[in-house]
Chains A and B, each alone.
Chain A
Amino acid sequence: MSGVPALLVEDLWAGYDGHIALESVSFVIEEGCLAGLVGPNGSGKSTLLRAILGLHRPWRGLVLVFGRPADRRQMGYMPQVEVADWAMPITALDVALMGRYGRLGLLRRPGRRDREKAMEALDRVGMAHKARCRLQELSGGEQRRVLIARALAQEARLLLLDEPFAGLDAPAQHELLHLFQGLRGEGRTLLVATHDLTCVATHFDHAVFLNRRVVAFGPTGEVLNEDVLQKTFQRHLLLVREGGIYAEHS
């Protein structure tokens, strides 16, 4: 493990139509971490991920991935699930294969190697046996895993995931979490945007607390305290501390 952080963000400012969504955001994520990006709705989590990927132009700021300027094709990405079209006739393998497109460029077709990589990715998430199934036939959790396979097929060391737990029941969430921990074990770095505070507190090793500005970042054990939570969630949070578990209440 080298000393170069997986992700370095410095003084990032971004917004829309004159509204500030991100204000002087700075944080560092080391390689091999499972980091949560936590904040209430509207705190700018999606915007931050998109700004890191270069999908959203920041007004100013520096983003370095493994010490180099960010190249979105080398970051695994799982966007928020609402924007995808589930009615499309497409198989799990097709979806996983999409992850390879970034490497192919225009006009080239996926070859055998790409197909192999896609299958490997599906296997990694435990969906290889359903490679030929239509997406519509899969359960919510399975679909989510296929999307992660897509991010994995990109063969990236840094993965950015936007609300992967949204709409899943508890068992499915656990499955995903288990997968994330496995990926971390392989040496990958994951930054997961979520507003599930409990999950982050319990299973993630690092966290970035965001509410337009970075309230705090670092190992969960260190940064998770009432002050940080208050500043992040403000009136959104009703603190119920019971055995170290915090509940969010708006």
Chain B
Amino acid sequence: MRVVDHLKRNWSSGLVLAGLFFLLAILIYLPLFDLLKESLRVHGQWSFENFQRFFDFKKPVYLRALWGSVAISVLSVLGSAVVGVPLAMLFSRFQFPGRKIFGVLVTLPVLLPPLVGVLAFYFLMGETGIIPRVLQKIFGLKSAPLVLAGVPAILLVHIYSFYVFFYLFARNALAGLDRSLEEAANGLGASRFMLWRRVILPQLQPALLGASMLVFMNAMASFTAPYMFGGDWRFLSLEIYNAKLNGDLALSITQAVVLAAISVLFLFLIRWYGRDHPATRGSKGVAMPPRYVTKPWQKILLAVLGSILIVVLMLPQLTLVLIAFVKNGTWTWQILPEQFTLENFVSLFMAGEVAEPWLNSLWMSAAATAAGAVVAMSAAYFTARPRAGRAMSNLIDASVMLPWAVPGTVVAIALIILFDEPHWFTAGNILIGSAALLPLAYFMRHLPMQFRACVAAFAQLDPALEEAAQNLGARWSMRFRRITLPLILPGLLTGSMMAFVIALGEFVSSILLYTYSNRPLSIAIFSELRLFNLGSAAAYSVLLILLIGLVTWLSQKWAGKESDSLSA
């Protein structure tokens, strides 16, 4: 047994392994297991009644939510592909002025928290949005045109934030293509159409499939857009929340289990597919270099198109900045707001009541991320190399990745069920209603991201380095402190900053788990919006965007410098 061997030789790392399993059991398996158990119980008896109610084909009220979710997800995949893939081709195949900066800017939407994105689109194109009002005024229409609501609005928000997956995957795949294949096809007399259809697209297929699955999962789990834009479709992620709010916990749990099952199925599909289609190149060689656009009119065209693209991409954020300076309650029937003030921002830093949410978000995200960093690193330490056997490392890997597949609403419901009674590991406390639940949810949801970053860092670490240290007489603690940790730190930090940033804007599980004392930024934005304090809501959002931008910039600067010195 590799496990036993390992522990015998190395009791300190054995201790870490035991602690890791204990944590995974309590934080990941217990909540999900409890959720599943509760879905199978009615009045204290084992029963399938809950699922029979959900899968009632004669009265498909609940099934309709499932179809709604699947339909919006499929549409989101198609829409994101239509936007993302051509962008990727444009940026990897053509050299034009501003290509580098545009290439970075198009990935920005992925950093925009869903709630903030939705809010921006609402101000911009909602019923009382700026664009419809302006158009109405210009053309003297009776009602505002182009108003976004319901399914089209949800779809637009989804495409806006999810096309980045297709863009990144396709761009990476195009960069990995061996140019000699293309040259060979050209040499054999293939037309450009044939080249794309028979040579390039088949090679992009794994990347496109991977991106499709990611977008599908994200769209299935999406909560904010359906919640804010409503419409006449029902969505599973939203119905979980509604059922909980209406006090029908059994239904909420059952729907959560169905949604979780679909998501986990997709997780396994992705993993299984990834195993058969590793992302490595089939042949050696260099990717086709981008073609220089030389004709002046083409250059101008691309530059103009790029600028329009950037304006469209930045418009939501710019709208938020504008609204953030609007005095609360002064923008009602006017086309554009007329009274501006700094007081929204001033109060963010001065008034205790107003400042509280963002301070809450900061400490809760920091706590969750710090805990996540420790757990992610220990888990990655055991999975990156089969130190304790292949089976063991697969088990750890699958366990840590599980929360990634489970939608935020499901995580929240699972935590609610688990912690509405005292446990020995909570020292007899009921965590519902305490400030601890939200950081716990953040930890659980973003652990996979930190874990992936650590695994990638470990994968780049040459096993011979640790062996060399061992050969030179270093025991486990010294090896870890002096060799392993310093070398994976950049990766760990990048992953953790990313997790921190996402936790800052987290809305989905926050809305189910927050208490007044620990209400985070996203909840503050939401309640200001409810009170029609548009200026305050926007000011919170701008602060959030600034915080996210700052952390991202810091982490890229830091990690970039680190990797430079290593590869030099």
Chain A partners chain B? no
Binding site for B on A (CB under 8 A): none
